[in-house]
Amino acid sequence: MSARAGDTPEDWEGAVDTNPVVETLGRRLRLAVIGGGPGSFIGAMHRTAARLDDRYEIVGAALSSNPERGRQAALNIGVAADRAYGSGADLIAGEAGRDDGADVIAIMTPNDTHHEYSVAALRKGFDVICDKPLANSLEDALDIVRTVRETGLVFALTHNYTGYPMVRQARSMVADGQLGEIRLVQVEYVQGGKAAENDPDPAAGPLPWRYDPARSGPSLIMGDIGTHAHNLVSFVTGVEVAEISAEVGAIVPNRQVDDYAGALLRFANGARGCMWVTQAAAGVENSLKLRVSGTKGSIQWWQEHPNIMDFLPIDGPAQIRTRNGPGASPLSVRGSRVLKGHPEGFHEGFANIYTDASEAIAARRAGGAADPLALHFPTAEDGARGVKFVRAAIDSSNANGAWTDCRLTLD
């Protein structure tokens, strides 16, 4: 994470030669995790992300809402017996009571419990890393924001797509004025996982809570991937989405949760945009794409091939920018571990959230300041804006597509 990009291994400057957390604190951060047990895709992802750069050791876990299952799973991944907890509440209490207790709590439970665990952990003095969406209601989201502000702790939200180096490259180029004033944005997040009509009974699947709106939130498609799309647009452009005209619904017959949303967007600076998200596009894998056009050029990025990004200047040949390649920004290079041409992927992007947060946490604990480049991870405020966006999309959809304000003022 402090690599200098070179053309060849010979002129590489040690990607993992240093460990800023160990340098700052004399040890790795102690991490306890709530959620993400057997059958969870995202649980393994969080733990691998924490491990990748050797900044954390996992010391405690409450992996399941079923206490017995959770404790066994914790033992299976090597957690000590006395820190294999039966519930999130037990974990927070237990770790808070130990001299060698966790520094950080990571939360990857069903959406409706993010608020409860986040606030409880913050109140006990833990820094928090939380899966998205931040909360199911704006009220809960704002409560988390307030608590973060009051406690002064670090709170990172794993909108992991912002961790991709080329997404950070896009952010840098926009911030640097290389695209000029932003005018047009097109974002789509298309998947095919819910294309089949004969879904197995969701209640029998491994994550039944996702099909219960009380738990998964007001719109499954918007909470699941619409917030990723919104966060990605905001992260890259630095411009707030101001108004939305949307339709959100279920295209597959007899489905109780939303599986598609289309939206037109107006940005605070006058730019216009279009969003298309669905999980019902048969055969599509995980097609998150972003196009941003400004007065000086356009960029195009596609998650399925994340190591490249097209840059189309208004007055010259199209360019293919590459991770660690020519013109890579410091923010982008920082999030990259390997030489150009050696692909990185989802794990590394996700790990960048963890690794950046680790530096912010270590600096806070040491009373110092983190590298400013480490401070681009999504925050509680970002999450609250996402919750507001979801709400506005649903309201617009219910109002015959009327343009609806989605700004969130956080003084």
DSSP-based three-state secondary structure for 231: helix
Where b means 16+ CB within 10 Å and e means fewer, 14-37 reads ebeeebbbeebbeebbbbbbbbbb
Nearest to 354 by CA among 13, 21, 64, 124: 21
- Which ranges of 335-401 does DSSP label H, i.e. alpha helix? 346-366, 380-398
For Cα atoms 19, 346, 332, give the angle at the middle one, nearest 5 degrees.
60
Q: Taking CB under 8 A as the criterion, which residues in 336-365 touch its own copies?
A: 337-348
Binding segment for its own copies (CB under 8 A), chosen from 104-112, 302-310, 365-373, 374-382, is 302-310
170, 221, 281, 357: residue in contact with its own copies (rule CB under 8 A): 281
Going by C-beta distance under 8 Å and a sequence separation of 6 or more, which residues neighbour residue 57?
28, 29, 30, 31
In the complex with its own copies, the residue whose CB is nearer, 400 or 409, is: 400
Which one of residues 125, 177, 326, 330 is an interface residue with its own copies (CB under 8 A)? 326
Name which of 151 and 158 has its Cβ closer to its own copies. Answer: 158
Question: Checking phi first, is residue 248 left (phi over 0); if not, alpha (psi -120 to 50) or beta?
Answer: beta
Site string for its own copies, 53-72 (x = CB under 8 A): xx------------------
C-beta of 18 vs 256, nearer to its own copies: 18
Other Cβ atoms within 10 Å of 321 Cβ, number: 21
Q: Which of 349, 369, 306 is nearest to 53 (CA)?
A: 349
Q: Could you tell me which stretch among 3-11, 80-88, 141-149, 357-365 binds its own copies (CB under 8 A)?
A: 3-11
Number of other CB atoms surrounding residue 261 within 10 Å? 25
Give the closest residue to 125 by CA, choosing from 99, 148, 91. 148
Tokens 């010391």 locate to 59
- Shortest Å distance, C-beta 306 to its own copies: 6
Binder among 123, 124, 215, 296 for its own copies (CB under 8 A):
296
Write each residue from 106 to 145 as x if it is in contact with its own copies (CB under 8 A), else as -, in one continuous string.
----------------------------------------
Nearer to its own copies, 256 or 295 (CB): 295
To its own copies, the closest distance from the beta carbon of 16 in angstroms equals 4
Task: Scan residues 153-182 and list those touching its own copies (CB under 8 A).
Answer: 180
For its own copies, the closer CB: 153 or 190: 190
Window 246 to 265, contacts with its own copies (CB under 8 A): 246-247, 249, 251-252, 260, 262-264
Span 28-47, contacts to its own copies by CB under 8 A: 28, 37-45, 47
CB contact set of 148 (below 8 Å; sequence gap of 6+): 122, 155, 379, 380
**CA torsion, ordered 260, 35, 334, 5, to nearest 10 deg:** -90
Q: What's the distance, CA 87 to chain centroid?
A: 24
| Dihedral Cα 64, 365, 159, 106, nearest 10 deg | 0
Site for its own copies in 181-210 (CB under 8 A): 183-184, 186, 188, 190-197, 200, 202, 205-207, 210
> Between residues 323 and 385, which has the closer beta carbon with respect to its own copies?
323
What part of residues 6-25 is at the interface with its own copies (CB under 8 A)?
7-19, 22-23
Question: Minimum CB separation from its own copies for residue 411, in Å?
Answer: 30
Q: Which of 306, 335, 378, 383 binds its own copies (CB under 8 A)?
A: 306
Decide whether 214 or 402 has the Cβ nearer to its own copies.
402
For its own copies, how many residues bind (rule: CB under 8 A)? 124
Please report whether residue 294 would count as binding its own copies according to CB under 8 A: yes
